[in-house]
Structure 1
Amino acid sequence: MATAGTGRLLMHALAVLVATGLLVLAGPGTPRAEAASTACSGRLVKTVAFSTGELRVYKNRQYACAMTIAKKPGTRRAMAVSIQPRGGRAAVDAGAFTRQAGPVTVHALNRCVRASGSVAGKGASTGWILC
Structure 2
Amino acid sequence: MFGTAGLAAALLLALAGPGAGTAHAAALAGPCAGHKVRTLPFSTGRIEVFKTRGFVCAVTIAKRPGARKAMSVSVQARGSRPARDQGRYTHRAGPVVVHAGNRCVRVTGKVSGRGASSGWILC
Measured against aligned partners, the alpha-carbon deviations of 1:69-116 in whole angstroms (never above 9, x if no partner) come to 000001100000000000011000000000000000000111100100
Q: Distance in 1 between matches of 2:67 and 2:43?
A: 16
**Which ranges in structure 2 are unaligned for 5 or more consecutive residues?**
1-29
Q: What SS does structure 2 have at the residue aligned with 1:127?
A: strand
Q: Distance in 1 between matches of 2:69 and 2:40?
A: 20
Match runs of 1:1-131 below 5 Å: 38-131=30-123
Deviation at 1:117, TM superposition (A): 0.2
Q: Distance in 2 between matches of 1:110 and 1:77?
A: 34
Calculate the aligned-residue CA RMSD, in Å: 1.1
Query: Partner amino acid for 1:112?
Result: C
Deviation at 1:56, TM superposition (A): 0.7
Q: Distance in 2 between matches of 1:107 and 1:89?
A: 11
- Runs of 4+ in structure 1 off by over 6 angstroms are none
Q: What SS does structure 1 have at the residue aligned with 2:120?
A: coil
Q: Distance in 1 between matches of 2:102 and 2:116?
A: 24
Query: Partner amino acid for 2:31?
Result: A
Q: How many pairs were matched up?
A: 95
Q: Distance in 2 between matches of 1:108 and 1:121?
A: 27
Pick 1 or 2: higher relative contact order, CA cutoff 8 A, min separation 6.
Answer: 2
Structure with more strand by fraction: 2
Rg larger in structure = 1
How many percent identity over aligned positions? Answer: 59
**Which ranges in structure 1 are unaligned for 5 or more consecutive residues?**
1-37
TM-score normalised to structure 1 length: 0.71
Q: What SS does structure 2 have at the residue aligned with 1:116?
A: strand
